[in-house]
Amino acid sequence: NAGVTQTPKFQVLKTGQSMTLQCAQDMNHNSMYWYRQDPGMGLRLIYYSASEGTTDKGEVPNGYNVSRLNKREFSLRLESAAPSQTSVYFCASRIDAYTGELFFGEGSRLTVL
Amino acid sequence: TQLLEQSPQFLSIQEGENLTVYCNSSSVFSSLQWYRQEPGEGPVLLVTVVTGGEVKKLKRLTFQFGDARKDSSLHITAAQPGDTGLYLCAGRWGATNKLIFGTGTLLAVQP
């Protein structure tokens, strides 16, 4: 089973460029999340979608936008990348917003020069 | 601002030693989970606790949820090199459906 799939796995951007991180899950989960992880640190919640058609801000939403395209897909967009957005980004999903295991993708390593 | 503080941040021990990792918040958790992350991978769930005072065991790992549901601990008995990784707690408060992660504890078990 594929689980949670993120693309791309690696990306290098210049300051000011834009890009979209794609995430898809095949587990029929209702809730999806985007986190960022900086070296040696825990995960910080950027945005989440409790269910199809809804999105909400997390701890660090500034500089990002999200789209819950359908039940399977949840994308993260950087409109004007900044060096402070250099990080590893993880997409995750779970059956609903209140219970259950969070399943993660393999991560997308983004470097902004 | 991290609402979940973990301690210690780093821990390097010898194989066979015991250790405890702590996760604390000033707010009451609705539920709390512990995850383990290995380099280059996403975190993987170890356990979920929901009831104050709850104790769960997973082989050599013992998880405890505080009576007031504001704190949790993870105790590893006779640590092995395979236990090496980043241990993360994650909590949900009240009616919110945000799942917030702690600062993490990086454990290295030397053979």
Q: Mind listing the pLDDT tens digit for each residue in A44-82?
A: 999 999 999 999 999 999 999 999 989 999 999 999 999
Cis peptide before B8 (omega within 30 of 0): yes
By CB neighbour count within 10 A (0-12 exposed, 13-18 middle, 19+ buried), where does B68 fall? exposed
Q: How many CB pairs under 8 A join A and B?
A: 66
Q: Do B88 and A42 touch (CB under 8 A)?
A: yes
* pLDDT band at residue B92 under the 50/70/90 scheme: confident
Q: Looking at the complex, report in whole angstroms how far the Cα of residue B24 sits from the nearest Cα belonging to chain A.
A: 14
Instruction: Give the integer Cα–Cα distance in Å for A97 and A31.
Output: 6
Q: Do B98 and A58 touch (CB under 8 A)?
A: yes
Instruction: Give the integer Cα–Cα distance in Å for A43 and B43.
Output: 10
Residues of chain A contacting residue B44, judged by C-beta atoms under 8 Å apart: 104
Q: Do B45 and A102 touch (CB under 8 A)?
A: yes
Q: Mind listing the pLDDT tens digit for each residue in B32-89?
A: 999 999 988 999 999 999 999 999 999 999 999 999 999 999 999 999 999 999 999 9
Q: Are B70 and B53 in contact (CB under 8 A)?
A: no
